[in-house]
Amino acid sequence: MNHSRWNVLPPAPFKYLAGAANFSPLIAQLLYNRGLNEPLQLSSFLSADERLSGDPWLLPDMHQAIARVYQALLSGESIAVYGDFDVDGITGTALLVQGLSALGGKVIPYIPHRLTEGYGLKTAALEKLHQQGIGLVISVDCGITALPEVKRARRRGMDIVITDHHTPLETIPPAVAIVDPKRGDSAYPFSQLTGAGVALKLLQALYQSIGREAPLETILDLVALGTVADVAPLLGENRYLVKQGLRLINNAPRLGLREIIASAGLETGNLDAETISWIIAPRLNAAGRLAHAMTSYRLLMTDSPREAQAMARWLEQKNSERQRLTEKAMARAREQVLAREISPLLFAGDREIQVGIAGLVAGRLSEEFYRPTVVIKVGEKISSGSCRSIPEFNIILALNQCHRLFYHFGGHSQAAGFTLPTRNLPRLKEHLSELAAAQLEGIALRPQLDIEAEISLAELAGDTYQSIQQLAPFGAGNPVPAFLSRNVEMLDCRTMGNNSHHLRLKLRQGGTMWDAVGFRMGENIGEVSSRLDVVYNLELDRWRGAENLRLNILDFAPAATSPT
C-alpha cells in the first residue's frame, strides 16, 4: 500500500453554516464541499428527483434524429441499434431496442465482437447490415470519431444517427444527426451523460414527439447500470437516473438481472452503486472481454427463466476466468514495469495479453504506481492499446496529439484506447513519454486523498451514518465522505483474510471505541503505532444477517506525522 497525500478540504464559512441551519454542521460541510450553495441546489441534490432531468430537445441534432427515426417507424423500415461492447453500450442498446420495439419498430441489435472487430462503427459490420436491408443505424456509446465509416455508409445509401458521449474531434462525421452532449454547440445543461444516458434522452424525445411518456419505470435500471459502470460522475442528472434505477433494481429487477444478483450471492433491497461497480458490472463486462457481449445483452432482454439462469451461470464462469487471466497478465506486466526505471508514463504488454483484459491491467498498474499507463496487445501488423490515467494527465488529449499514428482511437481523460500499425509503436511510446515527462515535471506522483472534515470519533455517534446516506448514491464525483481523526489510540491490530491481506483494528478516542478494517493493508502492519491519525469512511458491515457500523480505513500514519 502506498500512502496518499492528505488534502483536508477547507471548512465551510460561518455564513454558509448559518444558511444551512436545517442540517447538522457535519452534513452542511459535506454539502459545501460539493459546491451546493443555493437552497434550490441543496433541495434538488438531496432529493435527486426529476428536477435534475434536462430537456432532451436541448441536445444537438435531436430534431433531425427524431425526424429520421419517426420516418423509419412510420414506414416500417428496419432499424439497427449499434452499441459498444461494454456495460454502457450494452445497456444503452437494450433500452433503445426495448423502447423502439414498444412503438412497433422493427429493430435489431448489433454489438461488435471486441476481439475480432474492435471498438466502434466498422465498415464491414455496416456493409453486413446494409445487405440485411437495414437503412437506418442508430449508434450507442460510439460513432463520434467514425468519419470514414459514416462517409462510406452514406455512399451506400445508409443513414446513421449517432448517439455518443465521447469528446468529438475537430471534424465530426457526416451523419444524419449527432446527439452528443460534449459537442461544442450543445445547449444541454449537463455534459456528463453516459452512452446509456444519451440513448435515454433520444427515447424520451421520440416519445414526447408522439405525445407519450417514455416508459422510465422499465428502463431506468439499464441507465443506472450503464452510468455507474462507466464511472460517470454521480452529480446533476446522473444522480436522478442512478437513484431511480437503483430503486427499480432493488424493488423489481428484470429477470436477467435477478439471476446475476442471485448467482453472485447477493440479495435485493440494499444494492447500491458500489454493488454495480464491483459485482454486477464486471459480470456483464466479462462476456465482451472474453467472448461476445451479445450474451450480456440477451440476458438483460430475456423473458425466459431457464435461459436467464443458464446465461447468468455462464457469465459467472467467464468472470472467474477473467479474474484468473487478469492476475496472470498483471504479474507479467508488473515485472516489465519494474525491470525498467519507473518513468512518468508506464508501458507494458506483449503478444500474449488479451485485448479484453488490457484495460484492467492498465488500471491496476496506474493505481499501484500512480502514473498514466498504456498496456498493449502487440500484433504482427496491428496492435491495440488500453490506457488508464491519473487526474494530472489527460490521456485522450495526449492521444489526440499523436492521432496520425492511429487507425482508431477514442475515450475520456482518464481512460482511452487505440489501434495502430505495430510499426508505429516506437514513435507512439516516444511521443507519449515526452508529453508525460513535460506535463508531470515537478509533480509529486502520489494519489491525493480528499478529506471532507477533521472530526472526533465521538461525532460519528447517533444518526450520523443515516444522515450521510442522504447524499447517496455515491460514486465518481460524489465519493463516500472521507474523514480524518487525529491521535486515536490503537487498542488492538491483527491481520485477517487470505494471506493476511487485510488489517482489523480496534480504536479508541476519549470514551468512544470503534472497530475498523483496512483492506489490502496487511503488509503495512509494521507501520501501525499506539497512536494514529486515521482517514476513513463510515460504513455499514452486513455479515450473516447482522449489521454493524465500522470504520473503513483508507490511510493512516503515526500521530502527528500525517502526510500532506
- Listed range (20-24, 451-455, 530-534) with the worst mean pLDDT: 20-24
Region 189-203: mean pLDDT is 98
Q: Per-residue pLDDT tens for 252-296?
A: 999 999 999 999 999 899 899 999 999 999 999 999 999 999 999
Is-contact 72 79, C-beta < 8 A? yes
Q: Determine the pLDDT at residue 561.
A: 64
Nearest to 517, CA basis, from 552, 476, 554, 487: 552
Distance (Å, whole) CA 368 – CA 373: 11
Distance (Å, whole) CA 12 – CA 404: 48
Surface-to-core class of residue 383, CB atoms within 10 Å of its CB (0-12 exposed, 13-18 middle, 19+ buried): buried
| Residues in Cβ contact with 254 at an 8 Å cutoff, skipping those fewer than 6 apart | 221, 300
Q: What class does CATH assign to 56-221? A: alpha beta
β-bridge partners, 80: 108, 137
Q: Per-residue pLDDT tens for 102-154?
A: 999 999 999 999 888 888 899 999 999 999 999 999 999 999 999 999 999 99
Distance (Å, whole) CA 476 – CA 479: 6
Percent of the chain, pLDDT > 90? 86
Nearest to 435, CA basis, from 480, 503, 387: 387
340-439 has which fold? Answer: Diaminopimelate Epimerase; Chain A, domain 1 (3.10.310)
Surface-to-core class of residue 423, CB atoms within 10 Å of its CB (0-12 exposed, 13-18 middle, 19+ buried): exposed
Q: Per-residue pLDDT tens for 357-374?
A: 999 999 999 999 999 999
Higher pLDDT, 523 or 201: 201
Distance (Å, whole) CA 205 – CA 303: 27
Res. 250: pLDDT tops 90: yes
Q: Determine the pLDDT at residue 1.
A: 61
Is-contact 521 503, C-beta < 8 A? yes
**CATH architecture, range 5-44+448-558:** Beta Barrel (2.40)
Q: In angstroms, what CA-CA distances link 330 with 5, 145, 359, 415?
A: 26, 31, 11, 18
| Residues in Cβ contact with 33 at an 8 Å cutoff, skipping those fewer than 6 apart | 9, 12, 452
Q: Determine the pLDDT at residue 119.
A: 85
Q: Show me where the domains of the chain are located.
A: 5-44+448-558, 56-221, 340-439
Distance (Å, whole) CA 247 – CA 224: 10
| Residues in Cβ contact with 166 at an 8 Å cutoff, skipping those fewer than 6 apart | 141, 142, 144, 145, 180, 182, 410, 411, 412
Is-contact 181 157, C-beta < 8 A? no
Cell of 40: 434550490
